[in-house]
A and B are shown apart, each in its own frame.
Chain A
């Protein structure tokens, strides 16, 4: 393998250098007997600092590199990965993958994606905006953020600190069908978590902001205030009695509710028949006012990508139209198993968006009238095969559209089939921080277990 750079020079490697390494991996794999091969390389560096009680607590310097390869010998598949990128290690990694492929069994559905499905148009999605931030500046911002939280209220008595993280990475994907492309992406985060105390019991809450571009982060003071406010509002929380009632998922937790839907229409669960949404294309799963679509090409979007983990071109598409399922979430493998086409979702969805309704948070609460506003969910408790749902929850009891008091140590339960059908409204208070973008979601009835 002539062109592989020595590891010592990784610092200066740009996309073209990584593409050259990827090309060499393809050559090496072919040499070792692979019929088809795919390789992915990622490198990155970052800085994270945490400040607590006004002083720096940790400074971490990140520097990551990794390379992976998947080979196919006929219909047999093997893969290997390594954090070592020198020529000898790459050879060893390819050899390990080929060895596994020899032992694996023929799988008629295995292989690279169809050549025609691979991305050829590489739109610049504006994902890379390095933050020239020294450790000192990062500490300064973290301290400002934590100060805002601690000074929010005298009942804030303790702190887990505020942190700033900035990460900048490069990814290259190549396969033996001629695909070899790379891109840079950045991710910057500021978060804060503080503790309040009332009558001898403590509550903790947090807030965070995340963006591709540092200028798009919320101000440090705002993040701190949100963390302080959320913590103070939880003080004095208590269980409520067991009952059935309407439940409103605040925007920051409703993405999880939609995430369970994504999981239920994911190829792996469909071909194993381990989902309650088998054969759901064309079926009414949500009420008719619900529309869900994927928007992979949003500039600077946290989930944006021109191609998926296999190089398949992404495109905007509808997943739920008027409550009816339009498509699944498939990789090329699961698509073949199901006799369908890849939906460019190897590695996950890209900016899955629930169409926002007209109501803001306050109006959503009034729409609910009396019920539970959930702001935090803990535990697993979701069965994708049956749709059974039971999770620990914290939030507020709401009466006549007004928050009455904080609630904790309760569970909310139901079956996702019923929960999705009984969605009454989606708010316009959309949380844009994650890969699933949705406003708050109001469900007409769930079982609450409490005192």
Chain B
């Protein structure tokens, strides 16, 4: 990790003519006796995206983002400024603006810098350089051509490829220096099929904190393509979705978006410190059926939602949120942890140097149970089996959440029946998990596609779950 700090220094500070001494100067001007917490967050991020549409690689985009965010926290008050310019005068101006948040105090004592060494959960590589430009184009073309051969009903194929090389260097008021080099790749295949004048779409993809070779390994790119085509063809047969309250069986993996929306956001520390979450003040209480144990785990190797160290310099961890139905704790950043008198959990995240950190999820999933998936389906007389979702949203105060199914089937007399059109499912976070009556033994994590939005900030996340049976959930179809 100290090697990573050196690399981050080489990538960010040296080219700007800044040194660790300059960081000391800025931190020295920032801290005083009434500042509880302060950090200087340097970031250099390079990303690229390539798009194939209409059979040709039409365009690519390359983006460089670099800047520094400076924050000081006093009690519940936060001052924040950022700059794209990495110069000492600009950093000092930002620091003096930020410090105005705190009352005047004695000047603080600056601690000597200590390199924080944490284990790395991914290789500090630059994914953008793991394939040549020719090979990126060839990869997209190859997927397009092979996808079009999968079925004669395919009309449109869109393939996208995104790579990010994100380098951060974080100095905190405790004298801790942290750095992280975060690779991220993502690929997506979308198709539109047509049959007898009816057009439907399907989309599938994945990603990881690795290089582009990830998509060639295990034929993953073509797996996405086959899955997108399968989904689109299923949709060609879909009938109107039912409307009303019914038993819902959720498939494994990506449907774990349920956990993210229904309880994940409600267990973020900021809402609970402020008492604005439907879960506020419920630690130690039963909020789910005893079959449910749910964790937020930032420590999984190479996963999209994982972080070696969070954006405040806290090593990521696996936090048990719910154990056998009982609420165990919240996800915390440093500020909310301090104000609630608990420890940070490595969930302090920010979209970029230009955004304030806050408690955010990493990879949120439910541990497997004992039921065999087939038995879960056959236990339902009539209901809905939902296996793919397009996204979700939650009102953390009322606890009401939605998630929109993009692949779902009727369950009729214990058997999977006709596919139904996409429909939104709506429920109440604090009680939906009390209605979980069976948990499968088939835990899966999502393929690496999730992005979570909160207060205008987007961060990559993961979800997962085994097959779940929920005795009652409202399905928002048109067939009343």
Contact = CB atoms under 8 A, between A and B. Distances in A.
Interface of A: 7-8, 10, 52, 55-65, 77-85, 89, 92-93, 96-97, 99-100, 102-107, 110, 135, 158, 160, 195, 201-204, 234, 237, 239, 242-244, 271-274, 378-381, 383, 385-386, 388, 390-392, 394, 408-415, 447-451
B61 A79 contact: yes
Given A93-B64, A413-B477, 20 more contacts: A52-B76, A56-B101, A58-B77, A78-B59, A78-B62, A92-B64, A99-B62, A100-B48, A100-B59, A100-B133, A104-B58, A105-B57, A242-B244, A379-B403, A390-B423, A392-B476, A394-B398, A411-B424, A447-B479, A450-B245
28 contacts: A59-B98, A79-B62, A82-B65, A85-B84, A99-B62, A100-B62, A103-B60, A103-B133, A195-B397, A201-B398, A202-B397, A242-B480, A273-B155, A273-B199, A274-B156, A378-B393, A378-B395, A378-B401, A379-B392, A380-B424, A381-B404, A381-B422, A385-B200, A390-B424, A411-B426, A447-B243, A449-B243, A449-B480
B427 interface: yes
B81 A57 contact: no
A160 B478 contact: no
A383 to B, nearest CB: 6
A37 to B, nearest CB: 14
Nearest to A379: B402
Given A78-B60, A202-B278, A380 B404 contact: yes
Given A59-B78, A204-B398, A274-B201, A381 B57 contact: no
Contact of B424 (A79, A105, A386, A391): A391
A83 B87 CA distance: 14
Contacts of B201: 274, 383, 385
Contact of B478 (A62, A77, A102, A415): A415
B254 interface: no
Contacts of B22: none
Nearest to B61: A79
Contacts of B85: 7-8, 10
A135 B192 contact: no
A449 B244 contact: yes
B356 interface: yes
Contact of B391 (A61, A82, A380, A410): A380
B245 A378 contact: no
A449 B476 contact: yes
B82 interface: yes
Contact residues on B (Cβ < 8 Å of other chain), bracket: 35 or more
Interface string B467-480: 00000001111111
A390 B404 contact: yes
B77 A202 contact: no
A57 B77 contact: yes
Contact of B134 (A103, A390, A408, A447): A103
Contact of A242 (B57, B66, B245, B401): B245
Given A135-B100, A273-B199, A379 B391 contact: yes
A333 to B, nearest CB: 9
B60 A100 contact: yes
